[in-house]
Structure 1
Amino acid sequence: MKKDKKDFANKTLLIWKMAIASAISWELAKLAGSNHPYLAPLSVILCLQTTIYKSIRFSFHRIAGTVVGVLMVSWFVSHLPMNGWSLGLLMLAGTLAAKWLKMDETAIHQVALTILLLFTFERKSGDYGFDRVVDTIIGAAVAVIVHMILFPPDFTKDAEIAIKKTSHKLSVLLGEMANWVDDEWGANKRTEMENRRKDLLDDLHTVKDSLNIASRSLKFNPLGKKHKEALSSHKTRLKLLENGFEYASAVIGTLSEWEKTGTLSPIDQTMLKTDLQVLKDFFKDAGSSDINQERREALIDLLQSTLAVPHGQNSEVYRNAFYLDTRRLLQRLK
């Protein structure tokens, strides 16, 4: 429900920005003497992207592609017959030139579009090419400015929500692993745990994507400075979650092999359950607030106090593997 509301709000904001920027760019194009002012709103519509950074990049490629297209075609248009073969020849030459200039795919598309429109309209209006360049610059500039000053996009909150969700899932997984050791030993829980682990991995990928989008949304964002610290905190939490995921993955494998031997002493059962429950609480907190140094040290001290490995025979290799994974996690959390 919250996601639907967020999407609705974003679409509503995009509509308002598009309408306002289109109106402003049209009037500015007319003031600049353009006979084709509709070209400015066209650039607005195309250049309004998800983030300011993407809008600037798209605007740059659109302007560059338009300039190259105009320079390549303006003279040839009046000297070539107006048919599909002439259009194809001009488009081939223009786009190959864009490739030779090492323009990216977006700019190549803009070159092709400019060639098509020039080929169609330049004969009817000799100033179409000039207007297209000027109006493209006006529309792109207006789109970026409106994007920056009118509720600039900021996705740090979305990243925070994704981190909280993933932190909760990791905590639940560790809790299920504790229950496995305590109450469900011998119930062959590996498949269920593996499915949970894969689901958690998908969420980690979502968090990374959300952080990347949030990071890009702060570029050229006039309000971005106050959120950069929060973004840095989110990246630290992601690192914690990645360490926790690697730990849980390793321990699931260890417990699965251990379970096949059927040997789990009451001492091992208590110690494993305690460690997993402590980690469950730790990673639950990791998604809702910063884990300060005192909190980390308290966790490490608590776990290290339980890591005295008792001697055994059949189960010793699995016990040692579990404690080795736990010690490795603690080192990463420091």
Structure 2
Amino acid sequence: MAGRIRWTAPFTWLGRVVRVPGEERRSLVQITKAAAAAVIAWLVATSVLKLPQPFLAPYAAVFLVQATVYRSLRGWAQQVGAVSVGVLLAAGAGQLIPSMTVALGLVVFAGLLIGSWRGFGDSGVWVGVTGMLLISYGNATEPVLLADRLLETALGAAIGAVVNAVVLPPLHGQRLREATSRLASAIGDLLEETAALVRGGEPVEAADRLHEGMRDVRSLVSDAEDAIGWTRESRYLNLRRGREARDEPLANLISLWSPLAQLIDAVSEAAQSEQPFRHPGEYARGVVGELLETLAEVARSGDPAKQDRCRALVEEIDHLLVTPTDEVTTSIGLGAMALPARRLVQRLEAD
């Protein structure tokens, strides 16, 4: 069975590419573009410019088909800069150091050291690698070949960046939509569990489960922040940026994290306290419980009618807090729950 699963995995992956416009399809598009960029770079270098053995041209082209257009263009500048420094190091070592072995070691050491400068980004390793290749191939003493290596790298990198920018430039809307769906569902589930604890229908141990749920939501918030970062970056210099998904709904869900954590801390404290005055009375708990359940529905669907109901329930809680009844006046717990609940309502309304 395990062998059959391994053999069929590629076909399953291709099936998802055909059926679902998700990560697999985006990966296939980028892979195809990288292959096309490598072929174009090779043809231009060999057939047009007549460069001898221009292996760096397709190599650079492949690496410049990045996840965003902005990264491709930034990578082009970084890679050309890194290769230029590597060429200069190799040229200097080839002229000044008679021993190839010594020159190789010094060029690699100096190249990797210089390449660690953050301005080179991920291309910094090219400083040492370029110098190493030129020294080991015996090109370091031939200025024409050094110039060829620099030209083919710049050419390949430029072709890779242009292909990525012009041919279906990558967008990350699908990642954004998936992160929004996951986070909205997790927040909704957590609000419903909190509502059950507030109403008193759950054992006190349920407070521990709430904190476990909070850790899960916090992890999803981190994923959501990454998705927003990728989406915003993908808009830079992107010809298809008008088709990119809006990130405001997900950013709004992320903003719920702070009041949600405060609310769960207040509910847990009230549920676990041995002092009755800290826990709201039964009627007040019912109002808060309904508010949290309605907020869960709003988080998942954004239903305006449910938002109106949330506002009405918040007003009722405010009324309970100022009404001099025996049930409420001694309740610290209701006041502690009311403020973060109000903030949740306000931030969901901002969507």
Q: TM-score, normalised by structure 1?
A: 0.85
How many aligned positions are there? 323
Measure the CA separation in 1 of the matches of 2:255 and 2:240: 32
SS in 2 for 1:154: coil
CA-CA distance at 1:8 after TM superposition = 3.1
2:100 aligns with one of 57, 71, 83: 83
Report the RMSD for the aligned CA atoms in angstroms: 2.9
Structure 1 pair 316–243 and aligned structure 2 pair: CA distance change class (3 A):
farther
Identity, % of aligned positions: 20
CA-CA distance at 1:125 after TM superposition = 8.5
CA-CA distance at 1:199 after TM superposition = 0.3
How do residues 146-225 of structure 1 correspond to structure 2 at under 5 angstroms? 146-182=163-199, 184-225=201-242
Measure the CA separation in 1 of the matches of 2:319 and 2:92: 84
Query: Residue 150 of structure 2 aligns with which residue?
Result: 133
SS in 2 for 1:135: helix
1:250 aligns with one of 256, 262, 270: 262
Query: Residue 308 of structure 1 aligns with which residue?
Result: 319
Q: TM-score, normalised by structure 2?
A: 0.81
Is the 8 Å Cα contact of residues 52 and 147 (structure 1) preserved in structure 2? yes
Measure the CA separation in 1 of the matches of 2:140 and 2:177: 55
CA-CA distance at 1:207 after TM superposition = 0.5
Higher relative contact order (CA 8 A, sep 6+): 1
Measure the CA separation in 2 of the matches of 1:124 and 1:208: 46
Is the 8 Å Cα contact of residues 121 and 128 (structure 1) preserved in structure 2? no
CA-CA distance at 1:66 after TM superposition = 1.1
CA-CA distance at 1:298 after TM superposition = 6.0
Measure the CA separation in 1 of the matches of 2:293 and 2:259: 14
Q: Does 1:324 align with 2:339?
A: yes
CA-CA distance at 1:130 after TM superposition = 1.1
CA-CA distance at 1:166 after TM superposition = 0.4
Is the 8 Å Cα contact of residues 68 and 234 (structure 2) preserved in structure 1? yes
Is the 8 Å Cα contact of residues 260 and 344 (structure 2) preserved in structure 1? no
Q: Does 1:8 align with 2:8?
A: no
Query: Residue 25 of structure 1 aligns with which residue?
Result: 41
Query: Residue 294 of structure 2 aligns with which residue?
Result: 278
Measure the CA separation in 1 of the matches of 2:54 and 2:265: 65
One-letter code of the match for 2:315? Answer: Q
Measure the CA separation in 1 of the matches of 2:29 and 2:251: 33
Measure the CA separation in 1 of the matches of 2:170 and 2:45: 26
CA-CA distance at 1:105 after TM superposition = 4.7
Is the 8 Å Cα contact of residues 172 and 280 (structure 1) preserved in structure 2? yes
Q: Does 1:226 align with 2:243?
A: yes
CA-CA distance at 1:315 after TM superposition = 5.2
Structure 1 pair 185–307 and aligned structure 2 pair: CA distance change class (3 A):
farther
CA-CA distance at 1:112 after TM superposition = 0.6
SS in 2 for 1:33: coil
Q: Does 1:51 align with 2:52?
A: no
Query: Residue 115 of structure 1 aligns with which residue?
Result: 131
CA-CA distance at 1:200 after TM superposition = 0.6
User: Deviation string for 1:56-107 (max 9, x for gaps)?
Assistant: 22221110011122223225415533433221223344555667x8743534
Query: Residue 39 of structure 1 aligns with which residue?
Result: 56
One-letter code of the match for 2:314? Answer: L
One-letter code of the match for 2:108? Answer: M
Measure the CA separation in 2 of the matches of 1:14 and 1:242: 30
Measure the CA separation in 2 of the matches of 1:104 and 1:188: 53
CA-CA distance at 1:24 after TM superposition = 0.8
User: Deviation string for 1:107-150 (max 9, x for gaps)?
Assistant: 43111111111112244983321111111111011111111222
Measure the CA separation in 2 of the matches of 1:71 and 1:151: 36
- The gaps in structure 1 that reach 5 residues or longer are none
One-letter code of the match for 1:322? Answer: M
Is the 8 Å Cα contact of residues 291 and 314 (structure 2) preserved in structure 1? yes
